[in-house]
Structure 1
Amino acid sequence: MAISLSGLLLLLLLAGSAAAAFELEEATIDSIHRAFTAGELTSRGLVEIYLRRIASQDPALHAVIELDPGGALAAADRADAARVATEPGALPPLHGVPVLLKDNIAAAGALNATAGSLAMVGSRPARDAGVVERLRRAGAVVLGTASLSEWCNFRGPGIPAGWSPRGGQGKNPYMPSATPCASSSGSAIAAAANLVAVTIGTETDGSIMCPSSFNSVVGIKPTVGLTSRAGVIIISPRMDTVGPITRTVSDAVHVLEAIVGYDPRDAEATRMALKYIPEGGYNQFLNIDGLRGKRLGILRKDFFSFPSGSVQEKVFNQHFDVMR
């Protein structure tokens, strides 16, 4: 059964502390797997940590619309049992890792898929979206749904970015007065605030890239057809795509690897895009030294020009020196 954030507070009183030593802030898929392997963390423990984090932080952020703690804990228990019974290295890449789905993506079970609209409450999907099927095959644990601009920012002019009647006004965790931007706002806010390691967004025109940029996280907008739109409330079949939003490039690539591929329910688009998926996948291109020897250019005149002696110039120069 899905649950509201207020109901979650009672549930969390029962949560154990077995994973209390795990460092949640800035946790990545790789660090989570290392903690699993070392016996420092279980999938159930990780779900409980994120539920506590959401209960304490999300009332101020409005990044989450709905949670399915019962379903997530049951899936986490299955992941823990499989980990014990399976040889190291044989588990799927997202095994036991919780994920939040943008609220326009269907997940069979207790969760609604409403695009943030009250008109769709009660529309619990009978079948997973194509990307959710792939996430589950990769071992991911569906934790709940992330907020968004209602109807993916296609409701009407003048609606604030990140607002929906179901989710309220999403807040940028770094500067609450700033816009969280575009329709996949809840996914980006949740990733930035460490409410979960992995989130999924959708984009027609900027709805992954803009909130990722404004909330200082990493988003990938896949070429249309690399990921299935079956089971997703979309705006345009010619433009919409589904992609990952995470805190690191490597996490985004791990998730992209899991969700791309042909889907007969979105056959025309995914068949055409198959040829663009590299043989051997995307993970092979991850290189921790990828920027070594590279030069980064700063467009001072048009984008980073500040009044001489201003606070903005001082802060920018400090960050620029850190990057250098």
Structure 2
Amino acid sequence: MDICSLLLLFLASFFVASSGTCDAFSIQEASVYDIQIAFKQNLLTSRELVKFYLAKIRELNPNLKGIIEVNPDALFEAEKADKERQVNSYVPLPYLHGIPVLLKDLIATKDKLNTTAGSFALLGSVVPRDAAVVLKLRQAGAIILGKASLSEWANFRSLTAPSGWSGRGGRGKNPYVLSANPCGSSSGSAISVAANMAALSLGTETDGSILCPASFNAVVGIKPTVGLTSRSGVIPISPRQDTVGPICRSVADAVYVLETIAGYDSNDANATREASKYIPTDGYIQFLKINGLAGKRLGIVRNPFFSFITDSELTLAFEQHFRTLRQKGAVLVDNLEVPNISVILNSTSSGEATALLSEFKLSINAYLEDLVISPVRSLTDIIAFNQKFSDLEMLDKLGQIILLSAEATNGIGSEEKKATLNLEKLSRDGFEKIMRDHKLDALVTPSPFCAPILAIGGYPGITVPAAYDTTGVPRGICFGGLKGSEPKLIEIAYGFEQATKIRKPPTFLL
């Protein structure tokens, strides 16, 4: 090798290590595919990648508050991945090998990280095992970077707490417009990948908690069919509605994560056994098709959602997107209305609130009882903790009305069964009927308005960046489908993303 080649190699290594960039590669906004190519070309190591994100966290997180804590072993895990890559230089490794992933602070890790739902009540608790999705990430060689902030107790504590606020994490900020709503409850997961403080992240959703923060932070969120990803080891609200999914900067990255974490888990057998039947034999990556919109039948739901949009820039953007969908071969069935939509959007009228309160009490008590060590062992204990440490948890200002309402329930009685049956009927006679009657591949709405429709029936949805309002706040477009329709939704979402390429890095406006 001549002296010029040695100099170029030295400079490439220097720039990757110090600034995250080189002539051929930039870590900023890098995708999974970009990173893996850089690994193969020796332009980047996992250690350098983790150091880049740790530097970004030190720079941005004091203001954005997207991350509650960083894994102290992240660099050690990165060095381990680098060694594995050297030893297996001729062996294909999993897509996420050596790549850092941030986890919402509901997702248990059996390591030095806490799992607290953003509450001081669970600080110092010890989980019995990794959550099933974390085990799958580790088996794929992914690096656990840390825990993302969130709306405390997955936004199931108070009606007055700001979105994205938790006792431990403070209030997360939208990196596009710092004064804007970051949306919750997986706010930190979205904030962090949007601001390049993490490569990839996981969120959870009961009703809107992936789709909404993804929409407001210009990233992609996939809410999987309930049961497609295991919930074991995840601090729960409802086994009927909870799901774990990726929040990433691109559809492709989100699909790489979904492919890694989907599948059967004996600790969540009832849900994952049934839903795992939906997983294609050759996985989900095959559905990243540039022409994925061709021939898809898409139902456009305007009423009442477009009446919620008062920004002219957003209205114009969505009209342009509908034209783009047609140009790319989709068949649009316009001006559809979901039967009983006003009832579905009202959690009290639909019965969703009644069902969730009882399900939460039963589920959270079971989770707490399973912990190896915990300062609290029941919902009663959580409520008492908040009262005892009211300053830490801002009890006087924010209250805990949802926790108190859940505590007042007494199992799944006649009212709860009636509520659940009504939710099933609303789904069957609403979303499922409109999909069936019009032979649709997906329903399309501005995001996150699709969330309640999908939540009550356990249906999947994908949010993709679609627009920025006149103040600079992002908004997404949501594609929702029937259970197990992830392959079609991925084709549609990827086709839309590639045709529009709306996402841009954060602006950090005040």
Normalising by the smaller structure, the TM-score range is 0.7 to 0.9
Contact 1:147 1:167 in 2 (8 A): yes
Out of 44-53 and 23-32, give the one that drifted further: 23-32
- Rounded Cα–Cα distance in structure 1 between residues aligned with 2:304 and 2:209: 27
Q: CA deviation at 1:124?
A: 3.6
User: CA 1:223–1:301 in structure 2 vs 1: closer, same or farther (change >3 Å)?
Assistant: closer
Out of 286-295 and 48-57, give the one that drifted further: 286-295
Give the aligned partner of residue 306 of structure 2: 303
- Rounded Cα–Cα distance in structure 2 between residues aligned with 1:90 and 1:255: 17
- SS in structure 2 at match of 1:220: strand
Give the aligned partner of residue 17 of structure 1: 18
Contact 1:19 1:42 in 2 (8 A): no
- Rounded Cα–Cα distance in structure 1 between residues aligned with 2:146 and 2:194: 17
User: CA 1:318–1:54 in structure 2 vs 1: closer, same or farther (change >3 Å)?
Assistant: same
Out of 142-151 and 273-282, give the one that drifted further: 273-282
- Rounded Cα–Cα distance in structure 2 between residues aligned with 1:116 and 1:304: 34
- Rounded Cα–Cα distance in structure 1 between residues aligned with 2:173 and 2:52: 22
Q: CA deviation at 1:95?
A: 0.4
Q: CA deviation at 1:82?
A: 0.8
- Rounded Cα–Cα distance in structure 2 between residues aligned with 1:210 and 1:318: 18
Q: CA deviation at 1:18?
A: 8.3
- SS in structure 2 at match of 1:136: helix
Give 1:234-313 correspondences, 5 Å limit: 234-291=236-293, 303=306, 313=312
Q: CA deviation at 1:154?
A: 0.3
Give the aligned partner of residue 211 of structure 1: 213
Residue deviations 1:115-151 (CA, integer Å, cap 9, x gap) = 0001111114342100000011111100100000000
Contact 1:208 1:219 in 2 (8 A): yes
- Rounded Cα–Cα distance in structure 2 between residues aligned with 1:291 and 1:172: 31
- Rounded Cα–Cα distance in structure 1 between residues aligned with 2:308 and 2:129: 51
Give the aligned partner of residue 40 of structure 1: 43
Q: CA deviation at 1:159?
A: 1.1
User: CA 1:65–1:238 in structure 2 vs 1: closer, same or farther (change >3 Å)?
Assistant: same
Matched AA of 1:44? R
Give the aligned partner of residue 364 of structure 2: none
Residue deviations 1:191-227 (CA, integer Å, cap 9, x gap) = 1111111100001111111111111111111111111
Give the aligned partner of residue 10 of structure 1: none
Name which structure has the greater RCO, CA cutoff 8 Å, separation 6+.
2
Out of 247-256 and 294-303, give the one that drifted further: 294-303
- Rounded Cα–Cα distance in structure 2 between residues aligned with 1:165 and 1:91: 39
- Rounded Cα–Cα distance in structure 2 between residues aligned with 1:274 and 1:293: 27
Q: Give the TM-score taking structure 2 as reference length.
A: 0.56
Query: Does residue 67 of structure 2 align to residue 54 of structure 1?
Result: no
Q: CA deviation at 1:24?
A: 2.4
- Rounded Cα–Cα distance in structure 2 between residues aligned with 1:20 and 1:238: 45
Q: Give the TM-score taking structure 1 as reference length.
A: 0.86
- Aligned CA-pair RMSD: 2.7
Give the aligned partner of residue 131 of structure 2: 129
- SS in structure 2 at match of 1:268: helix
- Rounded Cα–Cα distance in structure 2 between residues aligned with 1:272 and 1:150: 30
- Rounded Cα–Cα distance in structure 1 between residues aligned with 2:65 and 2:273: 37
Contact 1:18 1:41 in 2 (8 A): no
Alignment length (residue pairs) = 305
User: CA 1:182–1:306 in structure 2 vs 1: closer, same or farther (change >3 Å)?
Assistant: closer
Q: CA deviation at 1:178?
A: 1.4
Residue deviations 1:86-139 (CA, integer Å, cap 9, x gap) = 144521110000000000111111100000001111114342100000011111
Q: Which ranges of structure 2 fall in alignment gaps of 5 or more residues? A: 1-15, 322-498, 502-510
Q: CA deviation at 1:43?
A: 0.2
Give the aligned partner of residue 6 of structure 1: none
- Rounded Cα–Cα distance in structure 2 between residues aligned with 1:315 and 1:202: 27
Identity %: 56
- Rounded Cα–Cα distance in structure 2 between residues aligned with 1:202 and 1:106: 12
- Rounded Cα–Cα distance in structure 2 between residues aligned with 1:282 and 1:141: 22
User: CA 1:304–1:197 in structure 2 vs 1: closer, same or farther (change >3 Å)?
Assistant: farther
Out of 145-154 and 297-306, give the one that drifted further: 297-306
Give 1:222-233 correspondences, 5 Å limit: 222-233=224-235
- SS in structure 1 at match of 2:85: helix
Contact 1:117 1:151 in 2 (8 A): yes
Query: Does residue 161 of structure 2 align to residue 159 of structure 1?
Result: yes
User: CA 1:302–1:238 in structure 2 vs 1: closer, same or farther (change >3 Å)?
Assistant: closer
Residue deviations 1:137-172 (CA, integer Å, cap 9, x gap) = 111100100000000000121111100011110111
Give 4+ residue runs of structure 1 displaced > 6 Å after superposition.
292-298, 304-307
- Rounded Cα–Cα distance in structure 2 between residues aligned with 1:151 and 1:302: 28
- Rounded Cα–Cα distance in structure 1 between residues aligned with 2:302 and 2:95: 38
Q: Which ranges of structure 1 fall in alignment gaps of 5 or more residues? A: 1-14
Residue deviations 1:269-307 (CA, integer Å, cap 9, x gap) = 111112111121111111134347989979699628989
User: CA 1:176–1:16 in structure 2 vs 1: closer, same or farther (change >3 Å)?
Assistant: same
User: CA 1:186–1:18 in structure 2 vs 1: closer, same or farther (change >3 Å)?
Assistant: closer
Matched AA of 1:36? F
User: CA 1:157–1:97 in structure 2 vs 1: closer, same or farther (change >3 Å)?
Assistant: same
- Rounded Cα–Cα distance in structure 2 between residues aligned with 1:302 and 1:121: 40
Query: Does residue 27 of structure 2 align to residue 30 of structure 1?
Result: no
Out of 98-107 and 124-133, give the one that drifted further: 124-133
- Rounded Cα–Cα distance in structure 2 between residues aligned with 1:146 and 1:111: 11
User: CA 1:85–1:121 in structure 2 vs 1: closer, same or farther (change >3 Å)?
Assistant: same
- Rounded Cα–Cα distance in structure 1 between residues aligned with 2:302 and 2:207: 24
Q: Which has the higher Rg, Structure 1 or Structure 2?
A: 2
- Rounded Cα–Cα distance in structure 1 between residues aligned with 2:19 and 2:79: 14
Matched AA of 2:40? T
User: CA 1:85–1:263 in structure 2 vs 1: closer, same or farther (change >3 Å)?
Assistant: same
